[in-house]
């Protein structure tokens, strides 16, 4: 039977998706996100978790536009972890981009439907990438969004590849939705059932149709990965396992907390003694750029922006010199900066003596932040 999507996809050129230079791997991880921000970001978080914890290559596969969107909107992620991820762009056909209808009865972002339809044309490009990476790896693990199940269906044709669905929603929502759509009763306590918001009408027909289209290709998965914790949703994971035939894993929360991000500078410069300011191991350079920002956010951020501009445009080393606290502040509050550019910058900590940190005086006549 002819695939209707395959017919539409026949004119889409994949010539720009050349992967001849991919290295050989023992095990390779391939992320295939759905091109919507909440989905892109969670798989980027998982990619960073793997890249920072295991010596495994992670490939993040999507259109150039959405890969860049994921990068520029990355929140609370260590740029040094992002820099380890291999981003691969695949062609996405043009699609309409109508504005949202603020008068629509449904608040669901249905104006993105042209993008959803266009995303169904990525199958060939993804299959081409999987074919190449599977030929150079002993084992390939594909982690994909539920809404990309159609596009990754060819994973079943590679004997050394297996796929897992990454679910971006809570387990209780997924369980209740599966029961609702399959006509099964929701096995929750009466008191909890009373607290649940009505699911009927929560999902527009357009989304249901899109989900139904993915459904025939879901069973190729080896299991489900959930961005949740057993401590929080253990009861619902057990219930989900009763209606799902494949294994379920709870690995969340995958967003790093402040403790995880505590020492990105020291991780990179572990051989740098901040107490003695010893820089004997610095390499030789023809020209070096040294940034010395004033320790206030507006100043820190602007010099970080300039550092990124130089690091992305010229083959010159850029050193960003400040206290460990303020270097970390600049990193964690970086806005709209490419983490790959930030990763090229050499952050060097210098000691800062202790100082008082009084709260702001909201009754002061001057609004200038004199408490600093």
Token pair 């998706």: residue: 17
> Tokens standing for 271?
């051989």
The answer as to whether 71 is a domain residue is: yes
pLDDT of 66 reads 95
pLDDT of 344 reads 87
The answer as to whether 329 is a domain residue is: yes
Token pair 């449904």: residue: 106
Which residue, 250, 282, 310, sits at the end of a domain?
250
In the chain, the number of structural domains is: 2
Identify whether 55 is a catalytic site residue. Answer: no
Q: pLDDT per residue over 306-355, tens digit each?
A: 999 888 888 888 999 999 889 888 887 887 788 888 888 988 889 988 88
Compute the average pLDDT of residues 10-33: 67
Residues 223 and 280 grouped into a single domain: no
The answer as to whether 256 is a domain residue is: no
Compute the average pLDDT of residues 234-255: 89
Which of 30-44, 45-59, 72-86, 222-236 shows the lowest per-residue confidence on average (mean pLDDT)?
Answer: 72-86
242 pLDDT exceeds 60? yes
pLDDT of 130 reads 97
DSSP annotation of 83: T
The answer as to whether 10 is a domain residue is: yes
pLDDT-above-90 percentage for the chain = 44
The answer as to whether 272 is a domain residue is: yes
pLDDT of 3 reads 54
Residue 180 · residue 69 · CB < 8 Å: no
Which of 17-21, 198-202, 243-247 shows the lowest per-residue confidence on average (mean pLDDT)?
Answer: 17-21
CA atoms within 13 A on the CB side of 178: 19
Residues 216 and 299 grouped into a single domain: no
Residues 99 and 66 grouped into a single domain: yes
Token pair 């820099």: residue: 83
Distance from C-alpha of 333 to C-alpha of 264, rounded to nearest angstrom? 13
In which band, very low, low, confident or very high, does the pLDDT at 67 lie, cut at 50, 70 and 90? very high
Identify whether 111 is a catalytic site residue. Answer: no
Q: pLDDT per residue over 104-156, tens digit each?
A: 887 888 999 999 999 999 999 999 999 999 999 999 999 999 999 999 999 99
pLDDT of 281 reads 62
Strand order in the sheet with 289-291: 289-291, 318-322, 346-349
Residues 237 and 148 grouped into a single domain: yes
169: left (phi over 0), alpha (psi -120 to 50) or beta: beta
Return the SS3 of 250.
Answer: strand
Between 283 and 166, whose confidence is greater?
166
Residues 272 and 314 grouped into a single domain: yes
45 pLDDT exceeds 70? yes
H helix count then E strand count, the chain: 14, 10
CATH number at residue 27: 3.40.50.2000
Distance from C-alpha of 272 to C-alpha of 57, rounded to nearest angstrom? 27
pLDDT of 328 reads 84
4 pLDDT exceeds 80? no
Residue 125 · residue 59 · CB < 8 Å: no
> Tokens standing for 274?
């901040």
Which residue, 250, 272, 287, sits at the end of a domain?
250
The answer as to whether 258 is a domain residue is: no
Query: What values do phi and psi take at 195, rounded to 5?
Result: -85, -15
Residues 179 and 103 grouped into a single domain: yes
80 pLDDT exceeds 90? no
pLDDT of 191 reads 81
Residues 269 and 148 grouped into a single domain: no
pTM, entire model? 0.70
Q: pLDDT per residue over 253-302, tens digit each?
A: 887 665 455 444 444 444 333 333 445 566 777 888 999 999 988 898 89
pLDDT-above-70 percentage for the chain = 86
Residues 218 and 273 grouped into a single domain: no
Residues 225 and 289 grouped into a single domain: no
The answer as to whether 355 is a domain residue is: no
Residues 153 and 270 grouped into a single domain: no
Residues 236 and 293 grouped into a single domain: no
In which band, very low, low, confident or very high, does the pLDDT at 157 lie, cut at 50, 70 and 90? very high
Q: Kindly report the average pLDDT of the chain as a whole number.
A: 84
Range of the domain at 83: 4-250
The answer as to whether 358 is a domain residue is: no
Of the candidates 39, 66, 144, 326, the residue annotated as catalytic is 39
Residues 152 and 107 grouped into a single domain: yes
Residue 289, Cβ density class (10 Å: 0-12 exposed, 13-18 middle, ≥19 buried): middle
pLDDT of 280 reads 56
Distance from C-alpha of 45 to C-alpha of 363, rounded to nearest angstrom? 41
- Residues paired with 59 in a beta bridge: 30, 86
Of the candidates 88, 144, 145, 226, the residue annotated as catalytic is 145
Return the SS3 of 84.
Answer: coil
């Amino acid at each position: 039977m002819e695939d209707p999507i395959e017919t539409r996809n026949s004119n889409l050129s994949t010539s720009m998706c050349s992967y001849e230079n991919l290295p050989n791997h023992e095990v390779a991880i391939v992320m295939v996100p759905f091109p919507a921000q909440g989905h892109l970001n969670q798989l980027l978080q998982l990619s960073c978790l793997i890249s920072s914890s295991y010596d495994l290559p992670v490939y993040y596969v999507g259109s150039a536009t959405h890969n860049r969107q994921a990068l520029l909107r990355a929140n609370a992620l260590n740029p040094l972890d992002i820099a380890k991820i291999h981003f691969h762009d695949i062609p996405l056909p043009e699609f309409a981009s109508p504005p949202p209808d603020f008068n629509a009865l449904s608040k669901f972002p249905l104006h993105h439907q042209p993008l959803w339809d266009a995303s169904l044309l990525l199958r060939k490009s993804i299959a081409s990438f999987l074919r190449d990476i599977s030929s150079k790896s002993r084992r390939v693990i594909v982690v994909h969004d539920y809404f990309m199940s159609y596009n990754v269906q060819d994973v079943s044709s590679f004997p050394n590849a297996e796929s897992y669905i990454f679910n971006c929603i809570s387990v209780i929502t997924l369980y209740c939705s599966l029961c609702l759509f399959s006509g099964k009763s929701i096995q929750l306590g009466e008191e909890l059932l009373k607290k649940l918001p009505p699911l009927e009408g929560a999902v527009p027909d357009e989304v249901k149709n899109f989900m139904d289209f993915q459904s025939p290709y879901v069973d190729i998965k080896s299991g489900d990965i959930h961005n949740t914790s057993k401590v929080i949703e253990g009861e619902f994971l057990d219930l989900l396992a009763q209606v799902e035939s494949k294994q379920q894993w709870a690995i969340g929360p995958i967003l790093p907390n402040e403790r995880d991000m505590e020492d990105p500078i020291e991780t990179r410069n572990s051989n740098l003694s901040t107490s003695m300011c010893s820089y004997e191991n610095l390499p030789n350079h023809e020209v070096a750029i040294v940034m010395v920002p004033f320790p206030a956010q507006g100043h820190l951020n602007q010099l970080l922006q300039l550092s990124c501009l130089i690091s992305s445009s010229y083959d010159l080393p850029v050193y960003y010199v400040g206290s460990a606290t303020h270097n970390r502040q600049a990193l964690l509050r970086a806005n709209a900066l490419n983490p790959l550019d930030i990763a090229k910058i050499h952050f060097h900590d210098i000691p800062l003596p202790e100082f008082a940190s009084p709260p702001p005086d909201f009754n002061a006549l001057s609004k200038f932040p004199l408490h600093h």
